[in-house]
Structure 1
Amino acid sequence: MKHIVIVGGVAGGASAAARLRRMDEKVSITLLERGPYISFANCGLPYHIGGEIIERDKLLVQTVEQFSKRFNVNVCVGHEVLSIDPEHHLVEVANGDEQYSLTYDKLLLSPGAQAILPNISGIDDPRVLVLRSLPDMDLIIARLRQIRPNVPIGVLGGGFIGLEVAEALRRLNLPVILIEAQSQVMSSLDPEMAVPVHQHLLEHGVELHLNRSLSRIHSLHDGLQLEYNNSQSVKVGMLICAVGVKAESQLAEEAGLELGINGTIKVNEYLQTSHSDIYAVGDAVQTYDWVLNHPVHLPLAGPANRQGRLAADNMLGHKRRFRGVQKTAICRVFDLSVGAVGVNEKTLKETDVDYQKVYIHSNHHAGYFPGASTIHLKLLYLKENGQILGAQATGKEGVDKRIDVLALALQARMNVYDLEELELCYAPPYGSAKDPLNQAGFVAANCLRGDDDMIYSEYVKDFVGQIVDIRDPEELKAGIISDSINIPLDSLRERASELDPTQAVLIYCQVGLRGHVASCMLRQLGFRVVNLAGGYCTYQDWVETLQEES
């Protein structure tokens, strides 16, 4: 009888064990988990802290008893694998003071990742915590009860976990200081797309400390003094670190398995390690970017679950390829949704990819139907053929729908011309006859066909020519681009003679749509015209980005 040993549970290991049993009733399966739980919803931990998920047990996806009975798996919690002997197909296991050896025919590693802590003085203070597991969550909740009222809680790191923890703490009416070493939160976003997130955090009472790295933590009797690298400091009651994770790859390294980027376990397309009888999945492995086909480390639950299923099939003799990852992700920041898929512009600038981008600011459903709110969407695509490379979006409603559609579009290798033709659900409460994704396709395709010529906000300062603001006068209260003249769109045809035909013209409106109309008009009147991508709305975010970086 074939014996398969799985090291680690949760998304990757537990998914693999369940799949193995569904596919083969006779195979022997042992799942070794050093912690007390084999399957829990770690993505739900912040929401229990904030009180949205009231019952702690709701986070337990499967108990040991349920899983063992349903899938006939020998589940051993509190059993830690100490070493692997690939040559003799052995693992050395510790259960408390007892140690034993276990043989395997196939071995699956799903050890996960551990939270990164900055290497600074004072980081070992017991009031410095992380959030990766149920015991971590329990400890944070217990410590919060000991914090004096009105003493701020520090959250270090502006990624998904940091933002979710900050929101959870604010839901408890606790003062929060969010500390981020970079000039923006959510590094998966491009800087200008993070601006609405910053504004939203501030509106909900989160004190935002950007461009600040911790250099030292001083332990006080009533809290922690956090010292920044710019010599400033702040006092908090406790600090929750969410600066990222690193792969738990020590076992693999000691067993002589090949490692990949950032200390991850290197696997092939079938999720095999450098030893053919050992597979690896989840937060510990190196995978590949679907768009650019380069190695990445993406510790997310979705890919881990899919990898677990595929590895199970392959250990049973099948040949199922893991395609890689698209980095599809979404985060709720209070009532703002922030989503992304594919590669961002920061990554594209580091490659030789010739790309273009468009910005759309459009209602999530018909504007005349009550409750319409704006989706801010950035789309990146190949200049050569319009193939979609990535997208980012923020908004209060409808972001998840658009990012999911674009995730499917990426899988299908679709282009912006395909977005023009998408036939999506339309009724006034749900969408518009021209969905934001259709509009993104229209704008991008116009650029590729030569029907419009875009200029991006970062190049406005270098523009030589006439800058024309075609908004109505009351809209100018929101701000203007310096040195621009105002000729509202509806009077532009009659007043075009006021412009110098020997000079180029930069047109801008609020979001770019009227700018396209004006651009078409002036071009046919003989002017050389560029339309500001995303209009003044995107320009404002770009200016805000420059201020934050400085």
Structure 2
Amino acid sequence: MISRRVVIVGGVAGGASCAARLRRLDENAEIYVFERGGFVSFANCGLPYYIGGVISPRERLLVASPERFRDYFNVEVRVNHEVTRIDRENRLVEVRNRQTGARFTRPYDALVLAPGAKPIVPDVPGVDLPGVFTLRLLEDAERIYRWLQDRHVTRAVVVGAGYIGLEMVENLANRNITVTVVEAAPQILPGFDPEMVVPIYDKLAAHDVRLLLGHPLQAIEADGSQLLVTAGGEKIDCGAVILSVGVRPDVTLAQEAGLEIGPLGGIRVNEHMQTSDPTIWAVGDAVEVKDLVTGQPTWVPLAGPASRQARVAADNICGRPSRFPGALGTAFVRVFGVDIAKTGLTEKAAQRAGIPYQKSFTHSASHATYYPGAKPMTIKLLFDPRDGRVLGAQAVGSEGVDKRIDVIAAMIQKGGTVYDLEEAELCYAPQVGSARDPVNIAGFVAGNILRGDVAPAHWDELDRFPEERRPFILDVRTPGEFAAGALPGAVNIPLGELRGRLHELPRDREIWVHCAGGQRSYYGVRILNQKGFRARNLSGGYSIYRAYRRGTPKSNG
């Protein structure tokens, strides 16, 4: 006896996960999955690494086949089948076989939309030329792979410097292809704050990757067997162009069915993943959900949230109350050995949302420094200045970045504060951590600020002062460090000499103290404030100053 008929539109993380969960909950349901592509469940996050030869053969990207869904779950999966219309009144979907053109209908009691997102293609001449690609499906990856191989491509242009764009850059370089990056934004990884991505610029330059930042794509032309890409008034000769300028929710089917669309262009759903039609659910890259920090709508096209949303939808279809509380946009990317990750709000996002925040920068080692191989990492923490609630974090380094952001993400999900970061009990062994983990240190520094033990100052505030009101800048590093590079106008008094040289400091001006990373300057500020001076600690030290002052290169190479 059939308990319910469920039709799922789309596979991959959202649709495939929903089908498997539905079957585990209801053995008597009739479940159909219609996927317009040729593969129902594949690892699309691995596509750049297949192109670069890191993942081989291609079959390793296939998570599950239609045959496995049939044998394991008794789910009928039809690939190369596109749902073209939803008849909400009669609870029917119209389906077209993309290979034969045949059309048919299928009834549903519950409908799940998981159409995903579609690549943004710039509206410029030449984007439809041979050799110009987007990367979303396994078929796209196969086409790019064959093009590069068959034509012996030696130069390529990647348009867009987001996650997929930079992963493509690295994998093209792995194939000994010289890469130019064209990015309309003034920085790479626009979803991060600009000072956090600075370490990646050095790695890109070391691999002869040329950057054209702040230059949107203008045109692509065919020049014999080559392509000419115009950006910033300059033409770049190449054998292939990868368009990685982003994606947008694929809501065509939902719009034509009259379902509500949210302010960000995604399908509007409630916490149960239900659309404006109570018999239709939607999951994955096509939907808008709640931002866990701001409470406002957000759009997070990532596999992790899609998979969890699919589980929630399946639970509710089967009568098991379940909710998706919201998303943080926790994300990670590795570029030539530099790891960068984030969760929650960036400073740019907090400013756009008008949310009050305080920030701190900390520098820590990935594990105990006495054990060989410890790597430095920088954490930028945003928190509410009123109660210490953690709002967001970004981290960059070459080891252990992901697990620290994971911990902070879990804290944010539970409404945690910087005091919770101080108290977090985390793994310690010299190979993997320290007695005071980088997460704890980020909490300690933020907690010191909120308790009034130290007042922070930030390098980006320095230029706001007229010269006559500029704070006194005290550098407490060693003379050798100071000689190797220092802030213009700074006075160097090493921390070990500070107590004996207090008479050299002004009492009528605020003193901003810095060292290399912020720890020694914190000690200095504690000394000065208890001696009657007005002192602040320049958060993140001289290394963050260099990141701010270096900015983002308009081009290199």
Comparing 366-375 with 379-388, greater Cα deviation is found at 366-375
Comparing 354-363 with 194-203, greater Cα deviation is found at 194-203
Q: CA deviation at 1:290?
A: 0.8
Find out whether 1:101 has 2:105 as its counterpart. yes
Instruction: Kindly provide the CA deviation profile for residues 75-113 of structure 1, in whole angstroms up to 9, marking residues without a partner as x.
Output: 111211110010110111112221111111111111111
Equivalent of 1:113 in 112, 117, 123: 117
Equivalent of 2:129 in 125, 131, 139: 125
Instruction: Kindly provide the CA deviation profile for residues 191-216 of structure 1, in whole angstroms up to 9, marking residues without a partner as x.
Output: 11111122222223221221111111
State the distance in 1 between where 2:74 and 2:471 align. 74
Comparing 207-216 with 381-390, greater Cα deviation is found at 207-216
Structure 2 counterpart of 1:522, one-letter code: L
User: Superposition pairs for residues 51-70 of structure 1, below 5 Å?
Assistant: 51-70=53-72
Structure 2 counterpart of 1:266, one-letter code: R
Equivalent of 1:509 in 489, 492, 515: 515
Equivalent of 2:318 in 316, 319, 326: 316
Find out whether 1:138 has 2:136 as its counterpart. no
Secondary structure (helix, strand or coil) at the match of 2:77 reads strand
Aligned length: 547
Q: CA deviation at 1:546?
A: 6.7
Secondary structure (helix, strand or coil) at the match of 1:420 reads helix
Instruction: Kindly provide the CA deviation profile for residues 480-514 of structure 1, in whole angstroms up to 9, marking residues without a partner as x.
Output: 11111111110011011111222221111000100
Q: What residue is the counterpart of 1:160 in the other structure?
A: 163
Structure 2 counterpart of 1:528, one-letter code: R
Structure 2 counterpart of 1:279, one-letter code: W
Instruction: Kindly provide the CA deviation profile for residues 43-89 of structure 1, in whole angstroms up to 9, marking residues without a partner as x.
Output: 11111111111211110000111111100011111211110010110
Q: CA deviation at 1:318?
A: 2.5
Structure 1 counterpart of 2:505, one-letter code: L
Structure 1 counterpart of 2:221, one-letter code: H
Equivalent of 1:524 in 511, 530, 539: 530
Q: CA deviation at 1:477?
A: 4.0
State the distance in 2 between where 1:101 and 1:438 align. 57
Find out whether 1:467 has 2:470 as its counterpart. no
TM-score between both structures, scaled by the size of structure 2: 0.96
- State whether residues 188 and 340 of structure 1, in contact with CA within 8 Å, keep that contact through their aligned partners in structure 2: no
Q: What residue is the counterpart of 2:249 in the other structure?
A: 247
Instruction: Kindly provide the CA deviation profile for residues 450-480 of structure 1, in whole angstroms up to 9, marking residues without a partner as x.
Output: 1101110111232623211110011124421
Structure 2 counterpart of 1:507, one-letter code: V
Where in structure 1 are there 5+ consecutive unaligned residues? Answer: none
- State whether residues 264 and 297 of structure 2, in contact with CA within 8 Å, keep that contact through their aligned partners in structure 1: no
Where in structure 2 are there 5+ consecutive unaligned residues? Answer: none
Q: 1:298 to 1:216 in 2, by over 3 A?
A: same
State the distance in 2 between where 1:546 and 1:12 align. 37
Q: What residue is the counterpart of 1:84 in the other structure?
A: 86
User: Superposition pairs for residues 213-252 of structure 1, below 5 Å?
Assistant: 213-228=216-231, 230-252=232-254
Q: What residue is the counterpart of 2:549 in the other structure?
A: 543
Secondary structure (helix, strand or coil) at the match of 1:61 reads strand
Q: What residue is the counterpart of 2:48 in the other structure?
A: 46
Equivalent of 1:481 in 473, 483, 487: 487
- State whether residues 211 and 554 of structure 2, in contact with CA within 8 Å, keep that contact through their aligned partners in structure 1: no
* Percent identical residues: 46
Find out whether 1:171 has 2:170 as its counterpart. no
Secondary structure (helix, strand or coil) at the match of 2:498 reads helix
Instruction: Kindly provide the CA deviation profile for residues 361-414 of structure 1, in whole angstroms up to 9, marking residues without a partner as x.
Output: 111111122111101110000000110000000111010110111111111111
Comparing 301-310 with 365-374, greater Cα deviation is found at 365-374
- State whether residues 377 and 393 of structure 1, in contact with CA within 8 Å, keep that contact through their aligned partners in structure 2: yes
Structure 2 counterpart of 1:350, one-letter code: R
Q: What residue is the counterpart of 1:271 in the other structure?
A: 273
TM-score between both structures, scaled by the size of structure 1: 0.97
Find out whether 1:24 has 2:26 as its counterpart. yes
Q: CA deviation at 1:222?
A: 2.5
Secondary structure (helix, strand or coil) at the match of 2:353 reads coil
Structure 1 counterpart of 2:41, one-letter code: S
Q: List structure 1 runs of 4+ shifted beyond 6 angstroms.
A: none
Q: 1:35 to 1:336 in 2, by over 3 A?
A: same
